[in-house]
Structure formats: C-alpha cells, structure tokens
Structure 1
Amino acid sequence: MYFLQGMRKAVSVPALVLFASYLGFGAVLHGVGFPLGAGVASTLLVWALPAQLILIGGLAAGTALPAIALAVGLSSMRLLPMVVSVAPYMRGPRRSLFWELVCAHFVAMTVWLEGLRMLPHLPGEARVPFTLGLGLSLIGVSCLGTVAGYTVAGEVPGWVAAGLLLLTPLSFTVLMVRNAVSATDWLALAAGLILMPLTLHLEGGLDLMISGIGGGTLAFIGGRLLERRR
C-alpha cells in the first residue's frame, strides 16, 4: 500500500520536469554518438544529470577513465549532505543496511525534498516502501525520457535540448521555495542566490561548493540568532 502511495506521489510536476530534462539528455546522447543502452544504464546507476553529463562528455572526448571516475565522484559529493539529512527518516522499525543503501541511491533533489516533507509523518514500517515506490517511479520516468529524447533527437534542435536540461534546476528552486518554512530555510535560499553569481568565475570549479557550504553555514548561524531573539 505504501509502495503504491510513493508511486502516486511521483505523479507530479517534478516528474514531468525530470522527463523533459532527460529528453534533453537523450538528445545529447544521440548527438555525441553514445549508445542508448549505456545512456539508460547511466540513468539507472548514476541518476544525477550533472554527473551523467560529465560521464558522457568525458567518454566522448576520450578522457582517461580514472579522471572521469574522479570527476563524476566529486560531482556526486553534493548529494552526500542530502543523504545524511534524510537517511534517518528512511529507516523502518527493523533496521536493514541493504534497504537503507537502496533507498539512499534514490536520493537526488526530488526524493530529498519530498522525503523531508512526507517521511516524518509516516509510520516506521511505511518509510522504506514509500521511498522505494517514489524513487523507482522517478527513475523509471527518467529512463523513459532518456529513450524518448534519443529516439526523437533528429527532430529536436540543439538549443531546445540544452533548454530542457535547464528545467531541472529551475524546478528544484521552485520546490525549495515551496518547502521553505523556517527562517533558516529562507536565509539559505537567499544566501545561495547571492553567493552563486559572486563565486561563479572562481577557478577550480568550486563555486557550487563554496556558495552551498558558505551560504548554508551563514543561514544556519543567522537562523539560530533569530530564534534566540524571539
């Protein structure tokens, strides 16, 4: 029952945005001559568009595999704080490391936001099935988008494919605004929006890490100070 509830929750605007984004990804695969099966496998196993684009771009350019693996790993490190924050809510009454790891694989922005919003209100025995239903459905939608984008790649102009890829961060921003409740949430959003343009041209590709960690830290401190004044 809870598995089906998770699947129903996946039928949403974020799922449509994921489908559209992976349409763009499928078109990119076709454009660089990457096999469709390998592209779908990357969606199943990686399921993070920035890391997948790094993987595909590196392979298409002939970059050494260890360098590609390192770049993909570093790109995916951004998901670690999300996993750490939502993982306690994914545990059932009987802890199972295997199922916790499976649930952790599904944690990207959509599952993270919906998990933080929904899982605390579900009984313990419902959390793993709900996460599995939600995660599997969203990955399935992403795989369908990959196949569809690859199939119609000749009909999709390059600028349209690039635009579709940008739908994902825009959708995530809207979701974070929707889920923002406390002063810390709003401060974190504001700090990220302010710091990101300021750090965009820093060397080393650390702009996202600096704006995320720096903005989040400032928001946490600011939120605590505001709470003490109340």
Structure 2
Amino acid sequence: MAEPAPDAGPAAATHSLVWRGARDALALPAWVVGFALVGVGSLAQGVGYPLGATMLSTLLIWAGPAQVVFFGSLAAGVALPLIAAAICLSSIRFLPMTIALMPLLRRPGQGLLAQIAIAHYIAVTVWVESLRRLPSMPAQERLPYYLGFANACILTTTALTGVGWFLSGTLPAPLASGLLFITPVYFTIALAAGARTAVDVTAIVLGFLLAPLFGHLVGRDFDLLFTGLVGGTIAYLAGRARRRRKA
C-alpha cells in the first residue's frame, strides 16, 4: 500500500500568502513605485551607466531619490566615499519607517542577517501599505505576505528601471521628473485613506505644515527625519492627553 502523502498544509499556506501579497502589489502599488523609477533608468543611461548595473542599483539601493543622487554624483565626478555618504544621508528617512514596521515582522528565532534582509525591502510604498494591511493579519501570516508584496514591488521596479534606460533620450525631462513625483502623491493619498483616528489626522496635517519649515532649517537630507520625529511626537502627545481627558 502506498504511503500517504506528507501534509503540505503549512507550506501551501505560506505560498498562498506570498502570492496573495504579490497579487495585491501588482494590482497598483508596484506599478506606482515602478513608474517613478523610469526616470532614474533614463538618467543612468544619460550618464553612461550600463543597463545591468542600472537595474542592479534598484535592487541594492531601492530608493529613487538616493539613486538620483548616485547617478548625478557619478556624472559630476564626485569621489565614491562621498557618494556613499550622500546616499546614506538621503535614505535616513527610512529609519523611523523601519522602527515602526519591524515589530510587526519580527519572529522568534530570526537572526540579525534575516532582519537586515527584511528591512532592506522597506520603501515608502511598501511601508505605507504594510502598515495599512499587516496589523489586522494574524502574526504568523504577516512575514510571508510582506515578502510577496515587497518582492513584487522591487522586481517590477527593477524591470521598469530598465525600461527607462532604453527610453533615455526619448523621455521628456518634465515627464521624467513627474514620474518621480508619483510615489509621494500615492503615499499621501494612501496615508489619508488609512487615517482612522484623530492622532493619524493630526500627524498628517503636522507633516504638511512642518516639512517646509524643516526643509529650510536643516536642509533636504534631514528634513523628513525631523518632520516625522517632531510631528509624530506632537501627535502622539496630543492623542495621549485626549485619552486622559476622556478617562
């Protein structure tokens, strides 16, 4: 008599969650962030960067503004250590995003390298959609779903970076700049749609008010970090005070 097939339930469930995350990403979010980097691919080809390295930059850097800094600095002949420092500074805005999202994704037994790999996927679109979708999911389902969603985003974006490389010279500069603006527009709409409490609304409003101020005071490298830290703290304290009054 043939032995019964081993139970593939857990593996099948994991695969289902991965594909579900990928499908949700490909429904719109992956294309939003992907089209934003078409202009990056065009810029890279314009400064003489090869196609393979251009697409690899999306996989490794995974941040449109940082890639613009990278290719623009290469074209200007800036030293590589200075380029690396500039990229780090331009990406410091991801620190509070990572701090907010990683508690939802950590699991017992995860090593440091695994957590670094998970954190690498965090970008604006992945972050805002994960915060909107993951809290309502069972804890064991979050990581597979997140990996499916994030991988669909990064792979789609890498492919569209390559498309932008081929379109270099045919893509008008205003259109290339406009494509980069798609992500913050989508990010703002998604945040507003996901705002469910007065604290959420307060944080969003403070973000709009404080961003220009900190942009003037501390410059473009740290403006979002200070805006998030100050605005988020004020919103949290206001919400806490409101809860105390109700109690």
Give TM-score scaled by structure 1 length.
Answer: 0.92
1:179 aligns with 2:194: yes
1:63 aligns with 2:56: no
1:222 aligns with 2:238: yes
Query: Which of 208, 216, 221 does residue 224 from structure 2 map onto?
Result: 208
**How far did residue 99 of structure 1 move?**
3.1
3-state SS of 1:63 partner: coil
Other-structure match for 1:33: 48
- From the superposition, tell whether residues 127 and 203 of structure 1 become closer, same or farther in structure 2 (CA, over 3 Å): closer
Q: How large is the Cα RMSD of the aligned pairs? A: 1.8
Separation (CA, whole Å) in 2 of partners of 1:228 and 1:211: 25
**How far did residue 63 of structure 1 move?**
0.7
Separation (CA, whole Å) in 1 of partners of 2:76 and 2:98: 31
Unaligned runs of 5+ in 2: 1-15
Preserved CA contact (<8 Å) 1:93 1:125? no
**How far did residue 78 of structure 1 move?**
1.1
Separation (CA, whole Å) in 1 of partners of 2:68 and 2:130: 26
Aligned residue type for 1:219: A
Aligned residue type for 1:61: A
Unaligned runs of 5+ in 1: none
1:156 aligns with 2:171: yes
Separation (CA, whole Å) in 1 of partners of 2:117 and 2:215: 34
Separation (CA, whole Å) in 2 of partners of 1:219 and 1:203: 21
Preserved CA contact (<8 Å) 1:20 1:145? yes
Q: Deviations over 1:61-86 (max 9, x none)?
A: 11111111111112222111111111
Aligned residue type for 1:73: C
Q: Deviations over 1:178-221 (max 9, x none)?
A: 11112111111111111122333335434333322222222122
- From the superposition, tell whether residues 96 and 124 of structure 1 become closer, same or farther in structure 2 (CA, over 3 Å): farther
Aligned pairs, number: 230
Aligned residue type for 1:212: G
Query: Which of 23, 31, 42 does residue 16 from structure 1 map onto?
Result: 31
- From the superposition, tell whether residues 77 and 181 of structure 1 become closer, same or farther in structure 2 (CA, over 3 Å): same
Preserved CA contact (<8 Å) 1:5 1:130? yes
Preserved CA contact (<8 Å) 2:42 2:164? yes
Aligned residue type for 2:209: I
Between the aligned residues of both structures, percent identity stands at: 42
Preserved CA contact (<8 Å) 1:17 1:167? yes
Separation (CA, whole Å) in 1 of partners of 2:43 and 2:29: 21
1:88 aligns with 2:88: no
Other-structure match for 2:8: none
**How far did residue 156 of structure 1 move?**
1.0
